Amino acid sequence: MQRKLQHNKASFFEYHDLLFENQDDWGGEKDPSKKFEAYAKELDLDIAKFRASKDSAEVKASVQENIDSGNKIPVQATPTFIVNDILLENVNGYDDIKKAIDSILSEKK
């Protein structure tokens, strides 16, 4: 979702990192929108664009698609890695992800 909120890649990654660093602060909130906006302000993002993007039909559809995917698998924590609707378990870095993807690809042959 946040990728669609910002067009600047540097801003995206700064915002992404801030969300994950503060996940304990907003993770239990029913509606963390105010906290998300505060993080955007902290990074000096354009708040009008942030709000417009956040409230767009495209972003809402993308968020709902992610929620539906998470409920289908079911996702229990973040980050969670899913490839071709397969939940990757015990992922502790690049090597684990590569191994899992290579395994999935070899099964497809």
Q: Residue 26 pLDDT > 70, yes or no? A: yes
What six digits make up the tokens of 82?
């899913």
Q: Where exactly are the structural domains of the chain?
A: 1-72, 74-109
What per-residue confidence (pLDDT) applies to 6? 47
**DSSP-derived secondary structure letter, 8:** -
- Bigger pLDDT: 27 vs 79: 27
Q: How confident is the model at residue 85 (pLDDT cuts 50, 70, 90)?
A: confident
User: What letter does residue 82 receive in the DSSP assignment?
Assistant: E
| DSSP code for 32 | T
pLDDT tens profile 35-62: 999 999 999 999 998 888 888 999 899 9
pTM: 0.61
- Which residue(s) pair with 87 in the sheet? 82
